Amino acid sequence: MKIINFAEQNSIINQFMSELRDVNVQQDRMRFRRNLERIGEIMSYEISRTLNYTTQEVTTPLGCKEMSLPSDKVVLATILRAGLGFHQGFLSYLDNAENAFISAYRKYTDETHFDIHVEYIASPSLEGKVMILADPMLATGSSMELCYRALKESKGTPAVTHIAAVIASTQAIEFVKQHFPENTVVWVAAVDDVLNAHGYIVPGLGDAGDLAYGEKE
C-alpha cells in the first residue's frame, strides 16, 4: 500500500492548507469550499498519472495526431456532505468519470463513543474500475472503511482504490493499512498526530462540513 503525503514536500498545497486551517479565513465559506476544490484538482492530476493509457488518433483542422489518453474507467465516490466541494475538484479534471455518493454519519452513544451508520448509496457498478473514495477528514478511518465495504458489497470490487483526504490522523493511516486491500493508494494533503477523545483530528481544521455548508442542528 502506498501513502502519498503532499506535506512531505513544499508545494502550493501548503498555502491552501494554511487557509483551510486558519480560524479567520474559515469565516469565508466560499473560500473554504474553493480550497477544498483546489486540493481535489491537484490530487486528481497526480492520480491521473497512475492510470492506464492507450494511443488514439485525434483529427485537427490541419491533420491527425496520435495522443495518449486514459483508458481506465474511473468512479469518483464521495462521502456526504463535507466531501462535495472536494469531489468537484476531482470532477473538474476527471470530467469523464462516473460518480458515486454515500452518506455516513456518527451516532454517539455517549460523549466519546459512537457508531458509524451508512444510510444512502447512489453508485454505478465498481467492478474492475478505478475508484477514488474521497472525504476531506480521515479521522479514525472507520467511516471510510465502512463506506468501502458497503460500496463493494452492493456495487462490485474495484480494480484499484484511491483514498483521498485533505487531513488524516496517524491512527487513521495505520487503520487503513490494516483494513484495506494492498492495492489501495492513500493521497493526503497533511497528516496530524493527535486524535482526541471525541475522534477529532488535532490541530486539524474543525468540522469540514459545517465550515463548507453551515452548521447543522
Summarize pLDDT for 12-38 with one digit per residue, the tens.
999 999 999 999 999 999 999 999 999
Distance (Å) of CA 28 to CA 31, 95, 195, 211? 5, 27, 26, 9
Q: Tell me if the pTM is above 0.85.
A: yes
- Which band of pLDDT confidence, cut at 50, 70 and 90, is reported for residue 202? very high
Question: Is 152 exposed, middle or buried, given 0-12, 13-18 or 19+ CB atoms closer than 10 A?
Answer: middle
Q: Mean pLDDT for the chain? A: 92
Query: pLDDT over 90 for what percent of the chain?
Result: 83
Give the phi and the psi of residue 191 in degrees, each rounded to 5: -125, 120
| The pLDDT of residue 82 | 82
- Does pLDDT of 115 surpass 90? no
Helices 29-48, 83-93: crossing angle, 10 deg rounding: 40
Q: Which fold has domain 2-47+74-213?
A: Rossmann fold (3.40.50)
- Which band of pLDDT confidence, cut at 50, 70 and 90, is reported for residue 83? confident
- Does pLDDT of 110 surpass 90? no
- Average pLDDT in the 142-162 region? 93
- Which band of pLDDT confidence, cut at 50, 70 and 90, is reported for residue 81? confident
Nearest CA-CA partner of 176 in 185, 5, 208, 205: 185
DSSP 8-state class, residue 126: -
- Does pLDDT of 216 surpass 80? no
Buried b (16+ CB within 10 A) or exposed e, 12-41: ebeebbebbbeeeebeeeeebbbbbbbbbb
Instruction: Count CB-CB contacts under 10 A for residue 188.
Output: 22
Distance (Å) of CA 26 to CA 158, 209, 215? 36, 12, 13
Query: Parallel, antiparallel, or unpaired: how do β-strands 98-108 and 114-122 relate?
Result: antiparallel
- Which band of pLDDT confidence, cut at 50, 70 and 90, is reported for residue 63? very high
Nearest-angstrom CA–CA distance, 73 and 124: 11
- Does pLDDT of 164 surpass 70? yes
